[in-house]
Amino acid sequence: MEPDAVAAHEDWPTLSGGLLANGSQKRYCAASIAANEKWSFARRVLYAAGMVLTPGLHLWRLAASLAPRPRLWGRFLLALPVSITVYCYAAVCEAAGYLFGPGSSEADFVDVELKMSRKHS
């Protein structure tokens, strides 16, 4: 609401930085949800197995949102290898959170958030 506010957006100069940020956040959130809601092992396994579907679902939703804007299809196709990599890695990390807990994901995410370069807009 502040008219003079400046937003600093995350800017990952490398794919590995983006993967670390997304993966650690996904793993930590999944582990936290499962622990806080006291999920059974069977439910954790079911949700982890369901992560196989999420990359395709994300891509389908993104493609569907571009249907009325055909001029963006070229950019979508150009970005597809990176998108697939990020979505698949995030799904694996989320599944790991459900099955094995947070691991080092909390510390990794905090480290990424505090040291990441940001662009002001």
Classify each residue of 68-86 as buried b or exposed e, where b means 16 or more C-beta atoms within 10 Å of its C-beta. Answer: eeeeeeeeeeeeeeebeeb
pLDDT for position 8: 64
Q: What is the pTM of this model?
A: 0.84
Q: In angstroms, rounded to a whole number, what is the distance separating the alpha carbons of residues 95 and 35?
A: 14
**50-95: pLDDT as tens digits:** 999 999 999 999 999 999 999 999 999 999 999 999 999 999 999 9
- Does some domain include residue 67? yes
Domain count, the chain: 1
**Structure tokens that stand for 19 in this block:** 């993967």
Would you say residue 57 lies in a domain? yes
Query: Is residue 90, in this structure, part of any structural domain at all?
Result: yes
The answer to the question of residue 121 being in a domain is no
Asked whether residue 4 is domain-assigned, the answer is no
Q: Is residue 34 part of a domain?
A: yes
| Cα gap 8→66, rounded to integer Å | 27
Residue 64's domain comprises 13-116
